[in-house]
Chain A
Amino acid sequence: NAGVTQTPKFRVLKTGQSMTLLCAQDMNHEYMYWYRQDPGMGLRLIHYSVGEGTTAKGEVPDGYNVSRLKKQNFLLGLESAAPSQTSVYFCASSHWGPRAKNIQYFGAGTRLSVL
């Protein structure tokens, strides 16, 4: 049982380039999330999804797009990368059900540098 898997683990981009980060979960979770982690700022929610075919904006959505075509996958896209998007990106997933049982499970992260 792999849990939450993020691809790639590391990436270096030039300003203006595009890329897609892939998150895959094998726990049949309904909810999925993308966060970015920056020093001294904790984790901030970029976008999230409450089910296949649905997406919603989080706290810092500008410059990112997402898609959830399959329940197990959640893609994060950067159309035109900027140095301000240099960060560590984490994907998480959560079961849908009684709120008390909802726990987010995290992937190992993708370290992205934009030069």
Chain B
Amino acid sequence: AQSVTQLGSHVSVSEGALVLLRCNYSSSVPPYLFWYVQYPNQGLQLLLKYTTGATLVKGINGFEAEFKKSETSFHLTKPSAHMSDAAEYFCAADSGTASKLTFGTGTRLQVTL
């Protein structure tokens, strides 16, 4: 069975600092991988996705993620955090069956002045 693990349920960074949110997947076949963001009292919005090809994927709002097959990881980064980045971030994997997604447990990002 496929699983997605997000290390750290809460991450706090200072404004302007590097954001690093960790995601590891467990799958016999590399899945398609996604990062979604959820702002308070809203639904999920796609940040970026990896399917095939280039392993460094750029998304919206300055975020990017790198797929590393050898480490079964898909960590999300942003060079400089902004107050508006405060939200909950979910990593997800596509099983390939009806495009069903398996989600990680989420990481809440806090950005401080």
Contacts and interface: CB of A to CB of B under 8 A. Distances in A.
A35 B99 CA distance: 14
Contacts of A48: 98, 100
Interface stretch (A65-73, A76-84, A101-109): A101-109
Contacts of A94: 99
Contact of A42 (B32, B51, B96, B105): B105
A40 B99 contact: no
Contacts of B98: 31, 48, 50, 56
A94 B99 CA distance: 8
Interface of B: 9, 32, 34, 36, 41-46, 49, 51-52, 90, 92, 94, 96, 98-101, 103-106
A103 B101 CA distance: 10
Contacts of B9: 40
21 contacts: A31-B98, A33-B100, A33-B101, A40-B9, A40-B106, A42-B104, A42-B105, A43-B44, A43-B92, A43-B103, A90-B44, A92-B44, A94-B99, A103-B46, A104-B99, A104-B101, A106-B36, A107-B43, A108-B42, A108-B43, A109-B41
B42 to A, nearest CB: 6
Interface residues on A, range: 20 to 34
Contact of B99 (A90, A99, A107): A99
A107 B45 CA distance: 9
A84 B96 CA distance: 30
Contacts, number: 60
B100 A45 contact: yes
Given A106-B44, A108-B42, A45 B101 contact: yes
Nearest to B105: A42
A31 B45 CA distance: 17
A2 interface: no
**Residue among A42, A44, A48, A109 with max Cβ neighbours from chain B (10 Å):** A42
Given A42-B106, A106-B43, A107-B43, A99 B101 contact: no
B44 A44 contact: no
Nearest to A104: B101
